[in-house]
C-alpha cells in the first residue's frame, strides 16, 4: 500500500486525497465502533475515538502520529506489512531523499500555480529539478539520479577544497570515461543547477527602481544602524568566547561575491539534511571537541565509569599532593552524588530533616566507611568508602559532552574563554529549623573552573572533578543575569562532576551605569520591546526605521553573465 503521500505537505491536494482514501480503508477494513474509529493524528495518537469528519480534520491539521507506518488499528495486516516495510526501510537508508528535498524547497509552488494561468518562475525551477531528479545517471542506474549525484559530487568539492577548475576537469574525465553519464559539462552548469535549490530573496527585500538608473534596497529586519554596529562590534572586541563559536564571524578570503557564496552554502547545507546516513557531511562530522566516548569501553550509565578525556593525551596530567580539606570535600561530593550510596543514606534519615541536612554532610564519609563494613554492601562500594589516594593528577583542560573546558589559569593566556560553567541543581529550601517538608526547587549556579583534578581510588577506579569558584548572581528587570565575581559563595562545596555542567561565557560590563545606552526609549518601551516575540504573527522582514541603500542598476550585459565568474564559490567551507 502506497503511503508516500503521508509525508507530503498537508495542504497539498495529494495529501488530502490520501486522507480520504485512508478513511475509506479504515471504515471498510478496520474495527470501527459504530461511526467512530481511533484517531491516528499526532495529538490523539490512536488513544481517542472520533467520527469520520473529526478524524479527517485532525489529520489535515496535525498529520499522522510519528511511527504509525503500519495501520494495524485500522485494518492493515501487520504480517504482510513487515516484510515490505523491512525492505523499504533498508532501501530508504541507502538512498537520498531528493523528492523530500524538492517538496520542502518548493512546498507552496504547486498550490500557487493552480490559481495562475501558467507556471511562474519558481514553478519552472521546480519542474526542471523534478525532471532532473527523475533522469537516470546512466542507463539502468538505480542508486543515483542526475540531481542526487551532482549534489553529492558538489558536497565532496566543498568538503575537500577542490578548485572550480579541478571540478570541471573531473566532470570532463567522467564524461570521457563513461559517455552515457548524464551530468553537466562544467562547473558553471553545475553551479546553475545547485543555484536553483536556494530559497532566493524574499519579495519584500527585492530592489525597487526609483528612476535615473538607480534602485533602493530595503534594510532587512536583522540589519543594524551605524550606532548599533558600533555597539555590537565593541561587545565582540571585548568578549572572550568559547573555542569554535566565533570562527565564522568573517571570511578568510573576502574577494569574490561573498553574498553569492553564502547563498550557495545555505542551499547546500539544506540539501545535506536529505542525504542518507552513510554520507559524510559537516552535519555528522565529529566536532573538534569530540571526547571519544562512543569508541571507549565505557558504560555511560555506570557512575564509576570515567567519561570524557583530558587534553594532551593519556600521559597528560601534573601530579600533586591533596591536602586534607580538598580531599574530604571531593570525596564527600562523590558520595552524595552516588545513587547506591544515597540508598543507604535514605534508610538512615529519620527525625528532623533539617538537622540531618545540616550535620550529615560533615560526617558522611566516616559514617559510610563504617556502614560499608556490613555484608549487604558491594565490594565496589567498600573500595569507594575508603576514599582516594593523597596523590592525584591535575589537568588544565578537559573534553566532555561536546564542550572544551579550561581552567581560569589557562584561559588567562588565551584569546578564548572556556572556564565558565553553569549547574542546575535541585536544592531544598527550609523555612525554619523546624521545617520537616523543605521546598525543592531547580536552582542555576554560575561559576568558573579553578582546577581540574583526577582522584585515584587506589587504582580501582578514577573520578575527574572540576573545582570551581561559585559566584553570587542576580537578575535585572530585563531578564539578564548579573554575575558578581567579587562575591564568592558555596566555598565549602566547590566540586562538581564534568558531566553535570554546561559551558557558559561571561561578558564584562564596561559601562558603570548600564551595559547599553538605550537612547531616548522609556523603560516601558524597552520592557515591551524585550518581551515581544518577533514571530508572534507575521514577521516584518523590512526594517522601516533605517533608510534603504541606493545603488546604480548594473548594465544588462552584467546581469546576463551571473554564472560566468566562478570565483564566488571557491570559499565555501562545509
Alpha carbons 567 and 536: distance in angstroms, whole number: 40
Predicted local distance difference test score (pLDDT) of residue 417: 92
CA dist list (Å): 405 to 73, 168, 422, 503, 549: 51, 44, 12, 8, 44
Predicted local distance difference test score (pLDDT) of residue 248: 53
Alpha carbons 166 and 503: distance in angstroms, whole number: 42
Predicted local distance difference test score (pLDDT) of residue 454: 93
Cell numbers that stand for 450 in this block = 579553578
The model's pLDDT over 409-423, given as tens digits with 9 standing for 90+, comes to 999 988 889 999 999
Give the chain's mean pLDDT: 76
Predicted local distance difference test score (pLDDT) of residue 251: 47
483's torsion region: left (phi>0), alpha (psi -120 to 50) or beta? beta
- For residues 406 and 397, is the Cβ–Cβ distance under 8 A? yes
Per the DSSP assignment, residues forming a β-bridge with 420 are: 448
Cell numbers that stand for 356 in this block = 540531618
**DSSP classification of residue 6:** G
CA nearest to 320, candidates 493, 452, 450, 410:
452
Predicted local distance difference test score (pLDDT) of residue 143: 80
3-state helix/strand/coil string of 101-157: HHHHHCCCHHHHHHCCCCCCHHHHHHHHHHHHHHCECCCCCCCCEHHHHHHHHHHHH
Pseudo-torsion of CA 211, 214, 218, 222, nearest 10°? 180
Alpha carbons 125 and 198: distance in angstroms, whole number: 11
Predicted local distance difference test score (pLDDT) of residue 32: 79
- For residues 296 and 314, is the Cβ–Cβ distance under 8 A? no
Alpha carbons 359 and 512: distance in angstroms, whole number: 42
This prediction has a pTM of 0.56
- For residues 306 and 298, is the Cβ–Cβ distance under 8 A? yes
Burial of 464 (0-12, 13-18, 19+ CB in 10 A): buried
Cell numbers that stand for 461 in this block = 577506579
The model's pLDDT over 58-69, given as tens digits with 9 standing for 90+, comes to 898 888 988 788
- For residues 450 and 468, is the Cβ–Cβ distance under 8 A? yes
| Residue 512 Cα to chain centre, angstroms | 35
* Sites in the chain below the pLDDT cut of 50: 80-94, 110, 113-114, 251-258, 295, 297, 351-355, 357-358, 512-537, 557-558, 560-574
Element containing residue 188 per DSSP (H, E): helix 187-195
Predicted local distance difference test score (pLDDT) of residue 406: 95
- For residues 424 and 483, is the Cβ–Cβ distance under 8 A? no
Amino acid at each position: 500500500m502506497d503511503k508516500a503521500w503521508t509525508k507530503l505537505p498537508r495542504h497539498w491536494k495529494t495529501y488530502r486525497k490520501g486522507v480520504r482514501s485512508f478513511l475509506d480503508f479504515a471504515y471498510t477494513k478496520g474495527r470501527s465502533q459504530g461511526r467512530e474509529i481511533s484517531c491516528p493524528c499526532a495529538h490523539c495518537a490512536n488513544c481517542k475515538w472520533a467520527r469520520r469528519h473529526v478524524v479527517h480534520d485532525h489529520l489535515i491539521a496535525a498529520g499522522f502520529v510519528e511511527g504509525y507506518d503500519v495501520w494495524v488499528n485500522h485494518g492493515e495486516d501487520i504480517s504482510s506489512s513487515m516484510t515490505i516495510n523491512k525492505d523499504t526501510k533498508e532501501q530508504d537508508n541507502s538512498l537520498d531523499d531528493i523528492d523530500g528535498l524538492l517538496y520542502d524547497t518548493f512546498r507552496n509552488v504547486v498550490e500557487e500555480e493552480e490559481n495562475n494561468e501558467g507556471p511562474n518562475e519558481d514553478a519552472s525551477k521546480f519542474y526542471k529539478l523534478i525532471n532532473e531528479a527523475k533522469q537516470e545517471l546512466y542507463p539502468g542506474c538505480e542508486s543515483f539520479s542526475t540531481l542526487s549525484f551532482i549534489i553529492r559530487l558538489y558536497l565532496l568539492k566543498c568538503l575537500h577544497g577542490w578548485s572550480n577548475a579541478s571540478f570541471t576537469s573531473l566532470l570532463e574525465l567522467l564524461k570521457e570515461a563513461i559517455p552515457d553519464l548524464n551530468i553537466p559539462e562544467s562547473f558553471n552548469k553545475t553551479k546553475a543547477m545547485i543555484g536553483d535549490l536556494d530559497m532566493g530573496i524574499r519579495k519584500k527585500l527585492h530592489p525597487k527602481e526609483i528612476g535615473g538608473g538607480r534602485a533602493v534596497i530595503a534594510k532587512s529586519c536583522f540589519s543594524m544602524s551605524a550606532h548599533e554596529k558600533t555597539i555590537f562590534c565593541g561587545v565582540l572586541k571585548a568578549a572572550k568566547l568559547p573555542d569554535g563559536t566565533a570562527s565564522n564571524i568573517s571570511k578568510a578570503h573576502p574577494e569574490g561575491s561573498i553574498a553569492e557564496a553564502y547563498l550557495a552554502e545555505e542551499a547546500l547545507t539544506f540539501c545535506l539534511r536529505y542525504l542518507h546516513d552513510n554520507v559524510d557531511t559537516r552535519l555528522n562530522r565529529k566536532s573538534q571537541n569530540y571526547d571519544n566516548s562512543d569508541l571507549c569501553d565505557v558504560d555511560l550509565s555506570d557512575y564509576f565509569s570515567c567519561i570524557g578525556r583530558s587534553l594532551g593525551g593519556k600521559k597528560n596530567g601534573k601530579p600533586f599532593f591533596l591536602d586534607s580539606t580538598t580531599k574530604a570535600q571531593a570525596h564527600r561530593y562523590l558520595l552524595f552524588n552516588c545513587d547506591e550510596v544515597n540508598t543507604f543514606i535514605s534508610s538512615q534519615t529519620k527525625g528532623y530533616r533539617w538537622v540531618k541536612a545540616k550535620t550529615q554532610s560533615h560526617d558522611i564519609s566516616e559514617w559510610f566507611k563504617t556502614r560499608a563494613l556490613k555484608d549487604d554492601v558491594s565490594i565496589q562500594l567498600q573500595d569507594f568508602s575508603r576514599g582516594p589516594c593523597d596523590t592525584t593528577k591535575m589537568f588544565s583542560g578537559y573534553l566532555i559532552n561536546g564542550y572544551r573546558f579550561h581552567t581560569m589559569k589557562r584561559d588567562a593566556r588565551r584569546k578564548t574563554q572556556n572556564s565558565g560553567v553553569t549547574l542546575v541543581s535541585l536544592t531544598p529550601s527550609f523555612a525554619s529549623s523546624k521545617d520537616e517538608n523543605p521546598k525543592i526547587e531547580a536552582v542555576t549556579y554560575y561559576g568558573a573552573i579553578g582546577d581540574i583534578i583526577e582522584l585515584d581510588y587506589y587504582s580501582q577506579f578514577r573520578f575527574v572533578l572540576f573545582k570551581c569558584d561559585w559566584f553570587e548572581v542576580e537578575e535585572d528587570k530585563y531578564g539578564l543575569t548579573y554575575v558578581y565575581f567579587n562575591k564568592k559563595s558555596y566555598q565549602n562545596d566547590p566540586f562538581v562532576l564534568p558531566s553535570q555542567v554546561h559551558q557558559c561565557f561571561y561578558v564584562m560590563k564596561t559601562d558603570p551605569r548600564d551595559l547599553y545606552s538605550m537612547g531616548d526609549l522609556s523603560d516601558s518601551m524597552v520592557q515591551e520591546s524585550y518581551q515581544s516575540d518577533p514571530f508572534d504573527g507575521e514577521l516584518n522582514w523590512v526594517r522601516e526605521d533605517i533608510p534603504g541603500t541606493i545603488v546604480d542598476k548594473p548594465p544588462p550585459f552584467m546581469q546576463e553573465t551571473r554564472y560566468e565568474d566562478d570565483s564566488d564559490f571557491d570559499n565555501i567551507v562545509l
